[in-house]
């Protein structure tokens, strides 16, 4: 039998979450803070599942929450289930009953408004078992944030009054009265009032913000599927900066988003990315090609990498979508090369802190090999290749160029450009060999690759 991780959450709509905090920071501010708490908790849940794939995760939402909105906003390796019951105690007991009815051997239930819960808290809760043992995680405000058990339990939750500073002690007494031995998880802190926000300010996961820089030769409207996907996964305060290179008759999107900025500049991927970085607000820059889709938890993964592994830069592993055996070999070699040389290409989605990017002087190349060049410059700032973080997760990119030119020919051409660049060949010559035309004669083109092949479900978004 597998284990079940049960997570209680609400859709982060203003006026419906963190009512006590909202009285001090406003309903909009409280909703933004709560969404960050949820996203951090779900990122930690993914960390737990990465180590223990047999764990099944279920997100329990409130009946009034929009299910499709939750599915779009919180994508991940879990299923959604509606909470059942008139009060919190009944809903928790019902969720545990449901998990065991579906065959779980052990179940851990947690909330989503903790500032400092860690993956180790959940992992230890699954490990601390024995006859008639229950794991209970005390919260500093007198409640509890975690309960772990190997059977359905009703009596300790059979109270209609919750939210007081006696909830933890009352629940522990009820478990002991029912014949259980209570094992305590670490004490953690809720975020319920303005004074609690200092804990968030000290944690880079909450204080950092990400700017996604997308250079494109396509009209932005054509990128709408990718932009919808990214916007749903941003943390509050994150942004997307699309930098169009060339002249287009139309640049406006059919809908507006406060998290999206569209900039026009001259053509050249290095030029476009420099402009996007210069005008960005985030302190972490994530450079993403317009035909590449990052994993749903990219914002948490990037934040965690910048916090836990203070490298000068990082990237994801690469896969093609759609793919075949030959393309799998190409992506496998690309990932091996990146692991050995620590020189990722731009289609792997690389990131770094903005202050380090500025110290490196930004992109020096305008059109080609700007990705390898910036990583080399960043490595000089840090301690060399060991300061490049390679994530275990994958980005999916379009194989359009390989399919048009032939896998072998395109691969050989890529390696030729790489070696010629290493030998000091001029960028204009590299461009001529790669694109078959001179830089100065180029006209605005269209996006490379098809935007129809996304590895993740986009729901019913229009």
| 18-22, 387-391, 458-462: range with highest mean pLDDT | 18-22
Reported confidence tier of residue 444, pLDDT bands at 50, 70, 90: very low
Domain boundaries, the chain: 3-201, 208-441
Reported confidence tier of residue 462, pLDDT bands at 50, 70, 90: very low
Question: Which CATH number does the domain 3-201 belong to among 3.90.1200.10, 3.90.550.10, 3.90.660.10, 3.30.70.260?
Answer: 3.90.550.10
- The reported pTM is 0.89
pLDDT higher than 80, residue 459: no
Separation CA 342–CA 219 (nearest Å)? 33
Instruction: Determine how many CB atoms are found less than 10 A away from the CB of residue 224.
Output: 15
Note the pLDDT of residue 15: 95
Partnered with residue 388 across adjacent β-strands are 313
Q: Is there a shared CATH topology between the 3-201 domain and the 208-441 domain?
A: yes
CA triple 178-181-184, angle to 5 deg: 125
Partnered with residue 261 across adjacent β-strands are 241
Query: How far is CA 16 from each of CA 11, 37, 64, 230, 247, rounded to the nearest angstrom?
Result: 8, 15, 10, 24, 44
Nearest to 363 by CA among 247, 243, 282: 243
H/E element, 34: helix 27-51
CA 420 to chain centre: 36
* Second-level CATH architecture of 208-441: Alpha-Beta Complex (3.90)
Note the pLDDT of residue 445: 40
Residue 454 in tokens = 């996304």
pLDDT higher than 80, residue 308: no
Determine the number of helices (DSSP H) and then strands (DSSP E) in the chain: 17, 15
Reported confidence tier of residue 448, pLDDT bands at 50, 70, 90: very low
CA triple 63-67-69, angle to 5 deg: 130
Average pLDDT over residues 368-374: 89
Note the pLDDT of residue 29: 96
Separation CA 400–CA 422 (nearest Å)? 26
């Amino acid at each position: 039998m597998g284990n079940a991780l049960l997570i209680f959450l609400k859709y982060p709509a203003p006026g419906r979450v963190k009512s006590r905090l909202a009285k001090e920071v406003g309903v909009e501010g409280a909703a933004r803070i709560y969404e960050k708490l949820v996203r951090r908790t779900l990122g930690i849940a993914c960390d737990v599942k990465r180590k223990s794939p047999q764990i099944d995760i279920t997100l329990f939402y409130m009946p009034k929450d929009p299910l499709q909105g939750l599915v779009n906003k919180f994508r991940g390796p879990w299923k959604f289930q509606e909470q059942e019951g008139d009060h919190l105690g009944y809903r928790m007991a019902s969720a545990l009953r449901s998990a065991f009815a579906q065959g779980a051997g052990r179940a851990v239930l947690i909330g989503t408004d903790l500032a400092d819960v860690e993956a180790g808290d959940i992992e230890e809760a699954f490990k601390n078992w024995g006859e008639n043992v229950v794991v209970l995680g005390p919260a500093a405000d007198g409640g509890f944030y975690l309960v772990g058990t190997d059977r359905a339990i009703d009596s300790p939750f059979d109270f209609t009054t919750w939210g007081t500073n006696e909830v933890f002690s009352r629940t522990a007494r009820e478990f002991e009265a029912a014949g259980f031995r209570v094992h305590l998880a670490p004490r953690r802190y809720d975020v319920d009032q303005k004074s609690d926000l200092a804990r968030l300010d000290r944690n880079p996961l909450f204080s950092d913000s990400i700017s996604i820089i997308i250079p494109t030769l396509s009209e932005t409207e054509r990128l709408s599927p990718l932009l919808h996907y990214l916007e749903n996964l941003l943390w509050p305060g994150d942004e997307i900066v699309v930098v169009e290179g060339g002249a287009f008759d139309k640049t406006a999107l059919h809908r507006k988003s406060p998290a999206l900025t569209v900039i026009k500049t001259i053509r050249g991927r290095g030029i476009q990315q420099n402009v996007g970085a210069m005008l960005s607000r985030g302190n972490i820059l994530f450079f993403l090609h317009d035909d590449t889709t990052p994993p749903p938890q990219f914002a948490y993964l990037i934040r965690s990498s910048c916090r836990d592994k203070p490298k000068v830069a990082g990237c994801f592993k690469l896969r093609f979508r759609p793919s075949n055996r030959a393309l799998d070999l190409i992506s496998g070699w690309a990932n091996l090369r990146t692991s050995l040389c620590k020189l990722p290409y731009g289609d792997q989605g690389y990131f770094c802190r903005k202050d380090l990017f500025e110290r490196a002087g930004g992109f020096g190349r305008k059109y080609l090999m700007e990705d390898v060049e910036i990583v080399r410059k960043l490595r000089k700032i840090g301690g060399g290749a060991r300061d490049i973080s390679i994530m275990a997760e994958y980005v999916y990119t379009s194989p359009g160029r390989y399919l048009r030119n032939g896998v072998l020919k395109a691969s050989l051409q890529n390696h030729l450009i790489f070696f010629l660049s290493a030998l000091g060949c001029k960028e204009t010559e590299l461009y001529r060999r790669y694109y078959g035309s001179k830089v100065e004669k180029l006209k605005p083109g269209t996006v490379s690759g098809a935007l129809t092949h996304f590895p993740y479900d986009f729901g019913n978004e229009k």
